[in-house]
Amino acid sequence: MAPLVPGTLSPTRSVPARIARPEYVGRKAPQPYTGPEVQTPETIEKMRIAGRIAARTMDAAAAAIVPGVTTDELDRIAHEYMCDHGAYPSDLGYRGFPKSICTSVNEVICHGIPDSTVLADGDIVNLDVTAFIHGVHGDLNATYLVGEVDEESELLVERTREATRRGIAAVRPGRQINVIGRVIESYAKRFGYGVVRDFTGHGINTSFHSGLIVPHYDSPHATTVIRTGMTFTIEPMLTLGTYQHDTWPDGWTIVTKDRKRTAQFEHTLVVTDTGAEILTLP
């Protein structure tokens, strides 16, 4: 299959004025987050709302995934769903990102920009959706099959979903955060998959990316102790080949250096006394 090439961007979609914007919209970069990683019950409840809207948005867009649909059409569906439910698409305007979700096809690891690209039978595509409402963000993604997909790609997707589940199951208060990556990398190595290192899970709350880093490999530097009430994402990116990457000239689209396929899943979590609660469920 030929490598992906950039398509044509449609005009920027508008958001009704009644919908509150994150502070970074219209600015080059967000303000650094200086708050706590442990959130109040009130903030967590707001994040449940944001996460639920994000999850339902993704379901709405994913229902349109068929051979022949453009990634821009998936963006339109997601954009309108979030706006219709009072949420701002967190991606739109984040560090200048031009669209409302990310659509990462085949060899695109993450941050693919929706455009005129037409999905073909046999492709895989990741939808990454984040909703901002009540001053907080809810962030998730998932990889979908387009039509009839080869067994190697289908297994990659299934196993990446399972790696994400295992990473979530490893969360416990008192453990270092690198236990998450240790579990994910150990599972991925059973199949010879690469585990992307340069893009990670992250703290999330009133900030889209709080500064907390959640590696998906066994990093000796990720020694932050997990505490009840912390909110962050787990979002492993597994590859059929190398974990190394190239960046397209757009400054956003990240592709595997060997152009082999990659899959990803993500949820936003809150740490409980006994494990983790997924906040991004429909």
Helices (H), 121-264: 151-169, 178-189
> How far apart (Å, rounded) are the C-alpha atoms in residues 77 and 109?
22
Instruction: Write out pLDDT tens, residues 121-158.
Output: 999 999 999 999 999 999 999 999 999 999 999 999 99
Distance of CA 142 to the CA centre of its chain: 7
Instruction: Write out pLDDT tens, residues 17-26.
Output: 999 999 999 9
**pTM value?**
0.97
Per DSSP, 3 falls in state P
- Residue 112 predicted with pLDDT over 90: yes
pLDDT at 259: 98
- Residue 264 predicted with pLDDT over 90: yes
- Residue 1 predicted with pLDDT over 90: no
Q: Under the phi-then-psi rule, with left for phi > 0, alpha for psi from -120 to 50, and beta for the rest, what region is 138?
A: beta
Pick the closest to residue 104 from 81, 83, 74 (CA basis): 74
> Is residue 82 within 8 Å of 57, Cβ to Cβ?
yes
Give the three-state DSSP class for 8: coil
Pick the closest to residue 235 from 175, 280, 282, 190 (CA basis): 280
